Amino acid sequence: MNNQKDKPVLPNLLVVGVAKCGTSSLHQYLEQHPEVYMSHTKEPRYISSQVTDLPLGGPKDDRVEAWYIKDFDQYKDLFKDVKDEKIIGESSADTFYFHEKTIPFIKKLYGDPKIIILLRHPVKRSFSAYQHLRRDDREHLSFEEGLKAEPERIAKNYELIYHYKAVSQYYEGLKAFMDNFSSVKVVLNEELSSSPSTVMKEVFEFLGVDKNVEVDASARHNMSGVPKSRWLHEFLFEGKKIIVVLRPFVRLFLNKEQRKKVSRKLFERNLTRLNINKKTQAELFEYYKPDIKKTESLLNRDLSLWK
């Protein structure tokens, strides 16, 4: 650990987004590497909290904002247990979306850290954000109604998860990060999901750590969908007081890893995936086509898996 009291230990890796593109999974995979230290708090959102307007204005947004880390001393504490890890990182999926404000702040505080950006088929990302809000009982409109309400919601400062169309336009943010930082790695969600071992080798090579470390990619993280049982969802996801009461009894039968696996299994099985309206899907794809084309050209990469 850095012993200079006047120089706090800060990340040299930022996973900056995009929201609902696999940042939770990547964070979990990265923290399995012995040469990588990822903050135990995923999504601290310290960067955005310093440069964007608060409070948030959407339904239950106050609950989301409550876990933003806004104080620098609290943020530093996320990395107080760093030892001799080569890479120190954190993941906040809103950093990409607010790039016009976050990039100057990053350059001032962190210098030139390594940047990882995850992208996903823009229509699927938008609909996943909708299902995420339905999952957490924060969206009561249809997807089509939510799309129409987006400009008004943005004006009212709803959390970015409600910005269904806006967050799925990648080109401007990508170009900004690539123009301002020397080490930027773009990961496609589809490839991370289908070939996690191959992608993580590439990521570890990018980070300059042992690329042959195997990670457990069997679990899915931060899944979206509508709960079959709202009570069970709240018990697993929000019912912290109940869990505190029950924890001593649960510990008699299950260790920490077993508890996490059981909870994740129940959480996943309790979700029902929704289907997007085909007409809406086609209209959205047409809307995103110009941005996809520019993104493809910027990355010099074939994005036919989106087409």
Q: What is the pLDDT of residues 79-88, one digit of tens each?
A: 999 999 999 9
Q: What is the pLDDT of residues 133-165, one digit of tens each?
A: 998 889 999 999 999 999 999 999 999 999 999
Tell me the C-alpha distance between 153 and 158, whole Å.
5
What radius of gyration, in Å, describes the C-alpha atoms of the chain? 19
Tell me the C-alpha distance between 134 and 274, whole Å.
10
C-alpha distances in Å from residue 269, one per residue of 46, 51, 223: 33, 38, 10
pLDDT at 109: 96
* pLDDT < 50 stretches in the chain: 1-4, 228, 239-242, 244-245
Burial class (CB in 10 A: 0-12, 13-18, 19+), 47: buried
Tell me the C-alpha distance between 246 and 11, whole Å.
36
pLDDT at 31: 94
Give me the phi and psi of 232, to 5 degrees please.
-65, -40
CB hemisphere CA count around 80 (13 angstroms): 9
Tell me the C-alpha distance between 82 and 102, whole Å.
24
Cβ distance 187 to 198 under 8 Å?
A: no
Residue ranges, comma separated, of all CATH 3.40.50.300 domains in the chain are: 13-222+289-306
CB hemisphere CA count around 88 (13 angstroms): 18
User: The whole model's pTM is what?
Assistant: 0.84
pLDDT at 235: 59
Strand, helix or coil for residue 111: coil
Q: Name the architecture of domain 13-222+289-306.
A: 3-Layer(aba) Sandwich (3.40)
Tell me the C-alpha distance between 45 and 39, whole Å.
12
Residue 32 identity (one-letter amino acid): Q
Single out the residue of 17, 84, 73, 23 nearest to residue 48, CA to CA: 17
Cβ distance 200 to 29 under 8 Å?
A: yes
In the chain, which residue ranges form alpha helices assigned H by DSSP?
23-30, 46-51, 61-66, 72-77, 99-110, 122-135, 143-155, 164-167, 171-180, 189-194, 196-207, 230-233, 240-251, 256-269, 278-299
Cβ distance 32 to 83 under 8 Å?
A: no
**Cα torsion through 92, 153, 291, 123, rounded to 10:** 80
pLDDT at 268: 61
Kindly write down the DSSP assignment for every residue of 50-84, as one continuous string: HHS--S--STTHHHHHHT----HHHHHHTTTT--S
Single out the residue of 70, 64, 53 nearest to residue 156, CA to CA: 53
